[in-house]
Amino acid sequence: MKKIVKIKTLTSVHIGSGEVLQIGSDFVKGKMGNNYVLAVVSPEKVLDLIGEEHLQDWVVAIERKESTGNVVKRFAPNAKVEDYAKRIVLEWSEAHERDTLKEHIHNGQGKPYIPGSSIKGAIRTAILASLAENVNDAERKIDVSANGKKKANANKVEKELFGSDPNNDVFRFLQVGDAYFGECYTVSLRMVNINERTSKIFWDKSKSQMIEALPSEDITRFEMKLNVEGYNKSKEKWSTIGDLPNIMSSYESLFEAINNHTIRLLDFELEYWKERSDRDDSDKVECYLEKIESIKNEAQNCGKGKECVLRIGHGSGWNFITGGWARDLDNFESLVVPVSRPNNQNYSEYDFPKTRRVDDVCELLGFVKLSLQE
């Protein structure tokens, strides 16, 4: 049976489109009323304002790294920033000269959304992490040389738990729709690191990156179908299909498993950073711990089997992206860490992972709350 699921962003969420926008040419700074904004430039609207006869002037200006906003002012002095914007992004974090902006994904009508594939991928990770301890001899099933690259993957573990190939994978029977956030806005955030270091404070702004994101407290709905009946019929016909885990036998057990998984990872974060908080002179670790504790309280207060907290998208961190279950493997330090951390030999004194991504006021990213609707 298909269900409607309410999704609420507990924190800002960024799902990248793959496009990186350049300040001045792809987006410009501006002001609308009392709000400072970033306007993503619409080339068609710019040409309408300046006239095609000035197209070459605009091209030359871009080559000189002059802002499109200045070009518009020159040829259409009465134009406002919204007159040539494809969309408006609230400037929650200030954009600086030479900044780039990682674009959030939008549909063809310009609505920001969270793809169903991203939600399903995060759910799959949560279920994988919940079941991984049942896999015998998992250490020998971690591959570090997939496609000729040194990168740890758990394909063999996933095949054992879910099915031998995409046609026989039990996740075929979980269908997740896209979640469109068309009535609200997106915001700009500057992502920085909490970086465990011995000689410097943990607050590390040296590799900051601007992103466009959905804001916290935004709400929409999407469709989800856990087709247990379809699975049972297919399993009778094709015995090669993977065995459906008990925690995927109903929406209630699925949501409970997701929520328990999130709480486990939050508990790990709390334990890990509490041990390090007294070595951080920036006080950002304490701030981070407060934010994690707040999300944990949200998860603990979820209605059992009806609600869950899930983490998704950019800034989630290695533990949430992978599910963190590999930490329990005997060969985690000797096999997984060396191929998961660039220049690992330079950081052997530190546990892995040693950094956490937050925005420039220490807000977390990627947490959403899912609620089954009657």
Quick check: 215 and 184 in contact, CB under 8 A? Answer: yes
Rounded Cα gap, residues 87 and 139, in angstroms: 48
Q: What's the pTM?
A: 0.94
Does residue 136 have a pLDDT over 70? Answer: yes
Q: CA-CA distance, 366 to 119, in Å (whole number)?
A: 11
Q: How many CB atoms lie within 10 A of CB 60?
A: 11
**Residue 107 pLDDT:** 92
Report pLDDT for 365.
98
Q: Is the pLDDT of residue 145 over 80?
A: no
pLDDT of residue 367: 98
Q: Is the pLDDT of residue 147 over 60?
A: no
Q: What's the whole-number average pLDDT of the chain?
A: 93
The predicted structure's pLDDT at residue 138:
84
User: What integer pLDDT is reported at residue 295 of this predicted model?
Assistant: 98
Indicate if the pLDDT at residue 344 is higher than 70. yes
Longest CA–CA span in the chain (Å) reads 71
At 342, is the pLDDT very low, low, confident or very high (cuts 50, 70, 90)?
Answer: confident
